[in-house]
Structure 1
Amino acid sequence: MPTTAPDSSTPAPTTAPGSSTTAPGSSTTAPDSSTSVPTTSETAEPAPGDGAIQQRYEAMSEQERAEVGEPLGGEVVVDEGLRWQEFTHARFYWTPDTGVTVVRGMIYQRFLDLGGHDELGVPITDELASSGGGRYSDFLSPDGAVHSAIYFSTRTGAHLVVGPILEHFRALGEDAHFGYPATDTRLTPDAFGAYNHFVTPSSSRQDASIYWTQPNGANAVQGAIRAKWAESGWEAGPLGYPVTDELTAPDGVGRYNQFNGDGAFPAGIVWSPETGAHSLQGTIAQRYIELSGPGGVLGYPTTDELGTPDGRGRYNHFTGTGGASIYWTPQTGAHEVYGGIRARWAQLGWERSYLGYPVSGEHDVERGRASDFEHGVIEWHRDTGEVVDRPNR
C-alpha cells in the first residue's frame, strides 16, 4: 500500500530538561510548557486513474494529437474501474486492466453509432493494423463475456465482427487472406445464427461469408459455392447452415462445403472448374457421401437435385466414369447407377423404361457387375464387355 511520507515541517516530540522529575505527591509528570505537541500533515492518496488520460495525451506526438483533436470536455469518472474523455476525433478510455486506450477516426464513429461502451464495452487495444492493410480496435463487453472488434478499410468502411465469427475470421487470415468485413455481425432471420459478409482481397463485391450457430460453430462460405447457396435461399433454403468451411476435394482441384440440410440428412455444394457448383441434399447427399463424394466413383455433380418427369423421384447426375447418377424415390431409396449399366438404362428410357427405378447400387455377380431395378436387372459381362437387360423372372 502507498504510505504518506512524514511532513518535514512537523517537529519531532522532545522532552524538556527536568521533565523526567516527578513532582512530590504527583503520579504524573507535569508537562513542560516549552514542549511542542506532535502534529501530522497527511497527503490524500490519488484516486485510481488520476491523470492517466492527460499523461497519455501529453505523451503523443504532434501528429497523433492532430489526429485525435482537442479535448471537448472534462474527464468523465464512471467509477473506480472506468474513466473516459471525449476529443474531437477520438475518445480516451482508462481501466485498471487496460490502462489508457484510444478509439479514433472512422472506427470511433462506428463505435458511437453502435452504442459506445454501453453496448460494446471499452476498447482493450489501441487502433492496430490488420494483416491486409486495414485497421481495427478490439472491445470487451461490460460483463466481460463478449470479445468484438471494429475493422476499417477504405474498400468497405468500418464494421463490427463479434465473438466466434471474429475468432474464425482471424484464424482464416483476416483481410489479407479471407476478406474485408462488409457488414456488421447480424442475426439471421430465424435468429438461430449470426453472420458477417466479406469482400475477398481479389474481388470488388461481397463474395464471402462466415455463418455461426451454436451447434455448428463458425464456418466460411465463399465464391461460386456461396453464390449457389444464396440462389437456394441461404440458410432458409433446403441446404440449411454450413457445417464446414470450404474444403478441397481429394484430387486437389475441386472444392465443397457441407451443410446441415433438413437436420435428418446432410446437404452439400460441390464445385470444380469443369462442372461449376451444384447442390445435393437428403438421401441422395447421404449416398454420395457414403460413396466418398467427389473422390469416389461418382465424381463431381453436373446437376443440382432435380425432379424426374413422372414426378415420383429425384436425381443428380455426375461425372463418374462413363457417366453416373443417383436416383431416389420414397419407395426405392437412393441408389447409384454408372458406366455401361447406366448407358443401357438411358438407352431404354431411364426410369420410364420397363425397368423402372434402381433398387440397388452396382454389385458383383458371377459374370461381372449388375444393378437391380424395380422390374428387372442390367448386367455387364466381364468376359465379353456385353451389357444386357432382362425383366424379373
Structure 2
Amino acid sequence: MSYHYTLRDAVVVRVVPEELASWSVLSANPFTVNLCFAGSRIAWSRERWLSIDGDLRIAAYLAVRSAHRHGHSTEVIGPDYHVADGISDHQYVTRALGIGSHTDVGPNFPWDVFAAHVDSFAGGTGQTAIDARAGASPWLGARHTDGELPTPDGVGRFAEFEHGYVYWHPATDAHAIPTAVMAKYAELGRETGPLGYPTAEHTELPDQRGSGPGLAQAFQGGTVYRRAAQPAYWVHGAIGARWAATGSENGELGWPASDETAHDDGMYQAFEFGRIYWVPEQIVALRNSGEPDTPMPRPT
C-alpha cells in the first residue's frame, strides 16, 4: 500500500508523484490524490486529533494545492457523505463510492476544524499569508521576489524583501525575519537547519548597556538573540531554559555571547557575565567573578 503523501509531526514525505496513481483506495486510485496521517488510528478521540492541529493545517494546505493543480473542487465532504468532487477520507470511498471496506479517518475526526483550515487556504481573495504579513510589516521595504518561492520541503514558501524575508508554513503561519536576524538563520541552514520555521514576529529588547535595542525572534528550534551592532546567537534546549530561569538578557548572566559549544561529554554556552554548562542529567550556571567562578543556585 502507498500514498502520495505521508504526514506526521509537521514532516511531509512525498511517496508517489501526483502525476502517478498511488495504491491507496483500490479502483479509486486513478482519480484521487491520497495523504496518510502516519501513526493515526480510527479510535482516536476528537481531542487527540486536535492535538495535531498543525498537521491538520498542513493536510488542508496540501489538499487545496492538489485540488487547484488538478482542477478539482475544494468542497470538504464529511459524514453524512454524498457523491461529489471534493476533499474527503477513505470512509467516503467505502460508503459513498462503494469501493472497499476501510473506515479511516474514524468517527471523531474534527471535520469542522479541518474544513475551516481548507477554507482559509482556498479563499478567493488572491492574497496569500505572505502578502498579508508583508502588508502588516512596512519596515520590510520593497519586495525583491517575484511572487513566492518554495522551500526545499515542498510545503513552505518564502519571499525576499529589501530589509528581510517572510517565511510561511501551514503549521506556523507567516512571519517576517529582519536582516539582522536573517544572517544567523541563513548560517544555521534556514528552515532546513535546526531552527526550522519562525513561529513569531521579532521583538525589540531594551539594552541599557548596549548601543541600541536588541532583537529576539522565536523559531521552532529555539530563539535567535542579537544585540545592536553585535553578532546574533542561538539559544535553545536545556541551556536556554536555564538561562531563561536566570532572567534571560536582564538577568545575572546578561546577553548570549556565543552559540552552544561542545565540551567534554556535553555542551556549554557563553553569556555576557558567565557560562552555562550542560552534560546529560546535569546543568550548571556559573557567573564570572574571578577565580573560581561562582555557581548560581538553581531556581526553586
TM (norm. structure 1) is: 0.41
Identity %: 29
8 Å CA contact 1:146–1:163 kept in 2: the answer is no
**What residue number does 2:203 align with?**
247
**What residue number does 1:288 align with?**
243
* In structure 2, C-alpha distance between the alignment counterparts of 1:146 and 1:286, rounded to whole Å: 43
1:187 aligns with 2:153: no
Pairing of 1:55-94 with structure 2 (within 5 A): none
Runs of 4+ in 1 over 4 A off after TM superposition: none
What SS is found at the alignment partner of 1:304? strand
1:226 aligns with 2:173: no
Number of aligned positions between the proteins:
176
1:301 aligns with 2:256: yes
8 Å CA contact 1:165–1:212 kept in 2: the answer is yes
8 Å CA contact 1:255–1:270 kept in 2: the answer is yes
CA change 1:241–1:292 in 2 (3 A) is farther
What SS is found at the alignment partner of 2:242? helix
- Name the structure with the higher strand share: 1
CA change 1:239–1:335 in 2 (3 A) is farther
Q: CA deviation at 1:362?
A: 2.2
Root-mean-square deviation (CA, aligned residues, Å) is 2.7
Q: CA deviation at 1:275?
A: 3.5
Greater RCO between the two (CA within 8 Å, min separation 6)? 2
CA offset digits 1:314-348 (Å, max 9, x no partner): 111111xxx2111111131x3321142xx43469x
* In structure 2, C-alpha distance between the alignment counterparts of 1:199 and 1:284, rounded to whole Å: 34
* In structure 2, C-alpha distance between the alignment counterparts of 1:269 and 1:234, rounded to whole Å: 12
CA offset digits 1:135-192 (Å, max 9, x no partner): xxxxxxxx962434xxxxxxxxxxxxx511111111112xxx3122222212211134
What SS is found at the alignment partner of 2:177? strand
* In structure 2, C-alpha distance between the alignment counterparts of 1:214 and 1:289, rounded to whole Å: 29
8 Å CA contact 2:225–2:233 kept in 1: the answer is yes
Q: CA deviation at 1:288?
A: 2.4
- Name the structure with the higher helix share: 2
Higher Cα Rg: structure 1 or 2?
Answer: 1
Structure 2 segments unaligned to the other structure (5+ residues): 1-67, 70-120
1:258 aligns with 2:218: yes
8 Å CA contact 1:238–1:281 kept in 2: the answer is no
**What residue number does 2:129 align with?**
164
Structure 1 segments unaligned to the other structure (5+ residues): 1-117, 120-142, 149-161, 201-207, 262-266, 348-357, 365-393
8 Å CA contact 2:286–2:293 kept in 1: the answer is no
